[in-house]
Chain A
């Protein structure tokens, strides 16, 4: 297996969505290819770091302001109906 072939399967490999046979092939490639191992490892860390660090939290005060604004607009509208004007 070439490194480019490994990379093509990287997303499915990390998501655990590959067949058992393909997984064996990919694991074997990882075993001897240090570069692909590092790429796999740091890609995994990339996903984890974005998943674990909440970048855009909605502060409670803003949240309640937005909620009020939404509900006021909805009240002036009608469910399931676009305003006619």
Chain B
């Protein structure tokens, strides 16, 4: 009967099929959705909270909330988009709690011009990968992105690390497309500015630019 058509559509509809099955209480289907996206949710949560314990809680709570609210998922957007939206909100909530600060939001620091005008104009040569060991480089990258405001680093992570489109990012964060673009530009420029300070200094006083 439907089997042939079903098979043909499997590639495209499998995520939706899993969601539909999970809505009916098929835990195995939901378990597959968890496996598909847990790494991404963990990474995003770590970037926002900068705390592994919080990130673990975010992963658990985001998937549980998604499961409990599956009925509300209409299928107009991708399940992943919907899931990340839940995860970002959970992560911001954790960050607020830890900082004991209710003002943490995606709108924080949007007016700042810090780093938006390049001051460090030195090329990176040779590439940082050749200058640093993996773990040392990882520490620099973490430290640098942690210096961005939550709003900036969330946009940067979704767009440039997770590789989502501007439109998807806007939908996930409930921001307009121009707002995402403007935050992305400033996030990229601020990171560039700060990394240049590292990668330039590494060469020390050898006079090279």
Q: Give A residues with C-beta under 8 Å from B.
A: 4, 7-8, 10-12, 14, 35, 38-39, 41-43, 45-47, 49-51, 53-58, 62-63, 66-67, 69-71, 73-75, 77-83
Q: Are A49 and B67 in contact (CB under 8 A)?
A: no
How distant is the Cα of A39 from the Cα of B185 in the complex, in angstroms?
12
B-side interface size class? 35 or more
Beyond A43-B192, A74-B27, whether A50 also contacts B160 by CB under 8 A is: yes
How distant is the Cα of A82 from the Cα of B69 in the complex, in angstroms?
7
Q: Are A49 and B141 in contact (CB under 8 A)?
A: yes
Give the tally of cross-chain contacts (CB within 8 A).
135
How distant is the Cα of A55 from the Cα of B145 in the complex, in angstroms?
11
Q: Could you list 25 examples of A-B contacts with CB < 8 Å?
A: A7-B185, A12-B181, A35-B118, A49-B137, A50-B156, A51-B161, A51-B163, A53-B134, A53-B137, A55-B145, A62-B56, A66-B56, A66-B60, A70-B34, A70-B59, A70-B64, A71-B34, A73-B64, A77-B67, A77-B68, A78-B68, A79-B25, A80-B69, A80-B71, A81-B71
Out of A38, A43, A67, A78, which one reaches B188, CB within 8 Å?
A: A43
How distant is the Cα of A46 from the Cα of B98 in the complex, in angstroms?
29
Q: Are B68 and A81 in contact (CB under 8 A)?
A: yes
